[in-house]
Amino acid sequence: MTVVSCPTCGKKVEWTPENKFRPFCSERCKQIDLGAWAEEKYTIPGAPPGDADEDSVSKE
């Protein structure tokens, strides 16, 4: 059996099919995490939008 930490509160959680909130420990922690995504508290790093256009221009 695998045990992981809840990403929201850190409580130890069993990673089993019976745990419908995995990797979270509860519906509450799951909703807190969803709210953080909705408020754009999490970001995925990437290049600024203008940089992609410069790379696609062929230099002749």
The angle formed by the CA atoms of residues 31, 32 and 35, to the nearest 5 degrees, is 85
Determine if residue 25 is labeled as part of a ligand binding site. yes
- Whether 54 has a binding-site annotation, put simply, is no
Structure tokens at 42: 């999490």
Angle at 56 between CA 55 and CA 60, to 5 degrees: 95
Q: Is 46 annotated as a binding residue?
A: no
Is 9 labeled as ligand-binding? yes
Q: Which residues are annotated as a binding site?
A: 6, 9, 25, 29
Q: Which residues are annotated as a binding site for Zn(2+)?
A: 6, 9, 25, 29
